[in-house]
């Protein structure tokens, strides 16, 4: 493949290094060849007082490490169907359970179609979309967890419908409370907790529904130690599906942008869930959850708690290889998952 030698001041984001850049005093590789140049790299290269660099003369394209859990079109369709469903339910119209089941089947077919699929973090587009996008994302993550827990196809379909409708009780409450910036008053928190019973009572009144669907709306905020709500159930009394939905619900809520909170980095959300296991969350569910969540994507830039700036160069369910691009041991490559003393402070890119 052709290479071009260009002045350093002509480097543009998106170009790809054709030859490695070495440290002058000891020959340590600072930047590998085949590296797509981001602005943070360009700034660093310019600080090295180099005159020229070798780049490839074609734009680089990257295949993702993992497929998205569901395609954009399916997500948009799912969100639209759920929005319409919730609107109809609020007007006391019938629940179109067939449409929801078909939606779950479509999501399930895609998830099970390729074993490279893993759950990745995405941004929520708008605050008022949260309930719908959240419910779809919880459905996707719950199905992924259930699939590696060896749930059967019919069980995954029921779990999917339960997940889509787990927060349906919110439509019967004052929505302003759920989007209130700042701390909730005790009475407001009690009102929020009421969405579990509201969802249960509503779904229980519908014909041709699995009894599990209303019960998962009721149980998804219960915790292993009995500290959850509304009934304070303990581990053995909480249904397996509710334990799965609880993890999916908490993780997606923590990593989503809301009016009253910024998203927590995925790695920190995972860490918090793990630290509360098995006290609040089921150990088996959490272990499977960790296997299918990839908190970092290839190419992103991270600031670590040891003040190193690093780039993710390879990621999977078992490893996260990073290259140090700024800070001590510049150029070093290591597996972040094998450094439990470190955590990500923030995303830089």
Strands 293-294 and 119-120: parallel
The residues near 236 (Cβ < 8 Å, ≥ 6 apart) are none
Strands 52-56 and 29-31: unpaired
Note the pLDDT of residue 124: 37
Residue 30 pLDDT greater than 70, yes or no: yes
Q: Give dist(CA 21, CA 161) in Å, integer.
A: 53
SS3 30: strand
Note the pLDDT of residue 27: 72
Strands 29-31 and 320-326: unpaired
Note the pLDDT of residue 120: 52
What are the tens digits of pLDDT across the range 295-307?
677 788 888 989 9
What are the tens digits of pLDDT across the range 160-188?
999 999 999 988 888 778 777 778 889 98
- What pLDDT band is residue 294 in, cutting at 50, 70 and 90? low
- What pLDDT band is residue 74 in, cutting at 50, 70 and 90? confident
How many Å is the maximal CA-CA distance in the chain? 76
Residue 2 pLDDT greater than 50, yes or no: yes
Query: Which domains does the chain carry?
Result: 3-56 (3.90.105.10), 72-294 (1.10.3210.10), 301-347 (no CATH)
Query: What is the distance, to the nearest Å, from the Cα of residue 215 to the centroid of all Cα atoms in its chain?
Result: 25
**Higher per-residue confidence, 23 vs 41:** 41
Count of alpha carbons within 13 angstroms of residue 146, beta-carbon side: 30
Residue 40 pLDDT greater than 80, yes or no: yes
SS3 277: coil
What are the tens digits of pLDDT across the range 226-270?
999 999 999 999 999 999 999 999 998 998 877 777 788 777 788
Query: What is the distance, to the nearest Å, from the Cα of residue 22 to the centroid of all Cα atoms in its chain?
Result: 37
From the list 325, 326, 324, the residue with the least C-alpha distance to 339 is 324
Share of the chain above pLDDT 90, in %: 30
Q: Give dist(CA 244, CA 248) in Å, integer.
A: 6
The residues near 210 (Cβ < 8 Å, ≥ 6 apart) are 158, 161
Residue 127 pLDDT greater than 80, yes or no: no
Note the pLDDT of residue 60: 38
Averaged pLDDT for residues 44-65: 67
The residues near 346 (Cβ < 8 Å, ≥ 6 apart) are 265, 302, 303
């Amino acid at each position: 493949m052709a290479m071009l030698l260009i002045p350093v001041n002509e480097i543009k984001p998106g170009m790809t290094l054709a030859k490695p850049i070495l440290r002058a005093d000891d020959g340590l590789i600072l930047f590998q060849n085949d590296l797509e140049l981001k602005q943070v790299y360009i700034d660093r290269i310019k600080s090295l007082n180099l005159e020229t660099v070798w780049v490839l003369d074609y734009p680089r394209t990257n295949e993702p490490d993992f497929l998205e859990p569901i395609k954009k079109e399916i997500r948009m369709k799912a969100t639209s169907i759920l929005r319409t469903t919730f609107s109809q339910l609020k007007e006391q119209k019938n629940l179109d359970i067939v449409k929801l089941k078909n939606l779950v089947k479509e999501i399930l077919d895609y998830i099970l179609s390729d074993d490279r699929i893993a759950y990745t973090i995405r941004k929520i587009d708008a605050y008022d979309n949260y309930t719908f996008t959240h419910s779809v994302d919880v459905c996707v993550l719950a199905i992924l967890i259930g699939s590696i827990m060896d749930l059967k196809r019919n069980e995954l379909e029921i779990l999917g419908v339960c997940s889509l409708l787990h927060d349906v009780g919110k439509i019967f409450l004052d929505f302003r409370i759920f989007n209130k910036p700042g701390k909730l008053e005790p009475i407001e928190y009690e009102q929020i907790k009421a969405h579990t019973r509201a969802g249960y009572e509503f779904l229980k009144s519908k014909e041709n529904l699995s009894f599990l669907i209303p019960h998962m709306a009721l149980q998804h905020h219960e915790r292993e130690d009995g500290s959850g709500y509304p009934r304070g159930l303990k581990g053995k009394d909480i249904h397996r599906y509710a334990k799965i939905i609880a993890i999916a619900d908490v993780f997606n809520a923590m990593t989503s942008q809301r009016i009253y909170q910024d998203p927590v980095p995925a790695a920190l959300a995972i860490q918090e869930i793990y630290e509360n296991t098995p006290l609040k969350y089921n150990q088996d569910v959490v272990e499977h959850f960790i296997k299918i969540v990839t908190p970092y994507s290839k190419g992103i830039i991270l600031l670590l708690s040891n003040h190193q700036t690093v780039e993710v160069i390879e990621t999977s369910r078992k490893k996260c290889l990073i290259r140090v691009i700024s800070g001590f041991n510049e150029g070093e490559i290591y597996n972040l998952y094998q450094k439990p003393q470190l955590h990500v402070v923030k995303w830089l890119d």
